[in-house]
Chain A
Amino acid sequence: MALQYYLILSALLFTIGVIGVLVRRNAIIIFMCIELMLNAANLAFVAISRNLGTAEGQLFVFFVMAVAAAEVAIGLAIIVSVFKHRETINVDEVNSLKG
């Protein structure tokens, strides 16, 4: 199977994620875009591992999924605690630290 189609798709997903992080201002949506980037990497891992005929890459995907879940748990908790103080999660409005 041609590897490049999968890699192109994963590169596209990754780019969408990067653009989302840079353009959107809502912390939760930024976070979703980061998850999209991680999943783009997962897709690349699975495709490459299939192409090489080894199980390594698929193994990594398991670890990345667990890491992503932990990241979501921690990330949402922090975003909730910011919301409690500011009543907003717009990253442009949360900017009291400057200098």
Chain B
Amino acid sequence: MPLEIPDINWSLLMPQLVIVSTLLIVLVFDMFDAISKKTLGWMTIVGAGIALWSSIDLLQAGTDQTQFNEMFRIDSYSLFFNIIFLVSTILVALVSISYLGSGDKKQGPYYLLILLATLGMMLMAAGNELIIVFLGLELMSLSLYVLASYFRESPASSEAGMKYLLLGAFASAFFLYGIALVYGAAGTTNIPEIISKLSVGDQLSLLSESPLFLAGIFLLIVGFGFKVAIVPFHQWAPDVYEGAPTTIAAFISAGPKAAGFAAFLTIFVDALPKLPTQATGVIVLLAMLTMTVGNVIAIAQTNIKRMLAYSSIAHAGYVMIGLAAANPDGKSSAMLYLFIYCVMNIGAFGVVIMARTADGENLMISDYAGLGFRKPLLAMFMTLMLLSLAGFPPTAGFVGKLYVFKSAVEARHYWLVIFGAINTAISAFYYLRVVVTMYMREPEEELEFKPYPPTLVIGLVLAAIGILLIGILPSLLLDQAQSAVQSALL
């Protein structure tokens, strides 16, 4: 039996290898109690920083290759997503260092799990084979289950972990069965091969109508739907965000959502035009539902973490618009949107952490009354993040929405754009309500805030600069996203 060892170009795997090495170093150093656990946080940031730098380096070199017998794809698409994940990881780590307290013995496994989740996300974006996507998904999800229930002394955190675990594992099983059915119908799990088998010349092939294949695709949509929290598979999200530690809520809402969409986009943007039209219909319907339900329920929330949870569900709906457009512009605008969304959402959660008092966190929106003039820095960050989430110019949120809607117009999904515009108006209402509460209302009681931790402020300043920079010069990022999609087409 001839056995061949595939050529492995290690330099292409740098980002992943750096993360793995950082992970092992953190693991080893965590064994010694003498080492300050804060150091582990900085190691994580440095490791993610090096991986980020090497990802950008590979991206600029225009890398486009597959590794490990075409199981692993290192092209500008996966590298662009690497940048999203690593930026989120760095921001979350910066915010976490002060959140967990100085001598906290539990910090070691915390950073370890964040790194593991990041590695899982990178696998998902780079997966050229459904099984790699599944492995990445599980590596990410398993780490997140533990992180969600990380505060063992808090009943809410454990409960959040259990809900996330049961629903997440349920969704993974759907996803895996979907893979099995697609494998059965197409005879392969290699994504480009499956897509190429969908058509013969200009005609659709038999595969695109085989019930087994369509059932598999349906199960894949259900599995992805759970992971990125689109309606009607969103119920876990508000509970998990509310119960999990706030830093982890920020992390779950950012990177993993982007990772879910990374795999979703790879499979569906190219496959949708080759599937029966009902499939596009389903995606359009899901996008509309997700936006509307997310925004309408968010209005009724009094807890800011729950409000941000429903808003993040609505944002998944906007990304779905780009997916439904199913053209190269849709793909690149969805990528751009995800990047912007990650930065501004982590920023918003960061401000929630900033508003901590000695008694704990202030999660009610009414607690923010009167902060506008008493805590100008905090209120300024919050206003910026919320304006960006609502999509006002000159913030990045506006740019993101603009390009997503533009791609949908090109694909002639006019209804979807109208829905998106109405939803943006609805969302402005509840985002601005917080801003109005901060500047216009008098506080009911004086709250003693803790001093701002420097790392948190650094993280927020970075996020704010990012949002304004992309808002004013969108081409910085959009060009990268577009060239990433272009290279995938060639």
Residues of B within 8 A of A27 (CB): 162, 166
In this complex, how many residues of chain B approach chain A with their Cβ under 8 Å: the count is 43
| B181 at interface by CB-CB < 8 Å | yes
Once the chains bind, are B158 and A81 in contact (CB under 8 Å)?
A: yes
Once the chains bind, are A78 and B149 in contact (CB under 8 Å)?
A: yes
Taking chain B's interface residues, is the majority helix, strand, or loop, or is none over half, making it mixed?
helix
Q: A67-B138, A82-B159, A96-B155 are in contact. Are A75 and B176 (CB under 8 A)?
A: no
Residue of A whose beta carbon sits closest to that of B145 = A74
Q: A96-B156, A99-B238 are in contact. Are A7 and B184 (CB under 8 A)?
A: yes
Interface residue ranges of B162-208 to A (CB < 8 Å): 162-163, 165-166, 169-170, 172-174, 176-177, 179-181, 183-184, 187-189
Residues of A within 8 A of B457 (CB): none
Min Cβ gap B4→A in Å is 15
Cα distance A27–B167 in the bound complex, in angstroms: 11
Cα distance A92–B389 in the bound complex, in angstroms: 34
Q: A34-B170, A40-B177, A99-B301 are in contact. Are A70 and B149 (CB under 8 A)?
A: no
Q: A48-B183, A60-B131, A97-B239 are in contact. Are A38 and B173 (CB under 8 A)?
A: yes
Q: A17-B173, A74-B146, A96-B156 are in contact. Are A44 and B181 (CB under 8 A)?
A: yes
Q: A41-B180, A78-B146 are in contact. Are A97 and B169 (CB under 8 A)?
A: no
> Which residue of the partner chain, among A21, A37, A51, A81, contacts B161 with CB atoms under 8 Å?
A81
Interface residue ranges of B97-136 to A (CB < 8 Å): 131, 134-135
Interface residue ranges of A40-99 to B (CB < 8 Å): 40-41, 44-45, 48, 51-52, 56-57, 60, 63-64, 67, 70-71, 74-75, 77-79, 81-82, 84-86, 91, 94-99
| B243 at interface by CB-CB < 8 Å | yes
Residue of A whose beta carbon sits closest to that of B135 = A63
Query: Which interface residue of B152, B174, B183, B306 has the most chain A CB atoms within 10 A?
Result: B183
- With A63-B135, A67-B134, A82-B158 known, 10 other A-B pairs at CB within 8 A are A38-B173, A44-B184, A57-B183, A78-B161, A82-B149, A84-B158, A85-B155, A91-B166, A96-B159, A99-B301
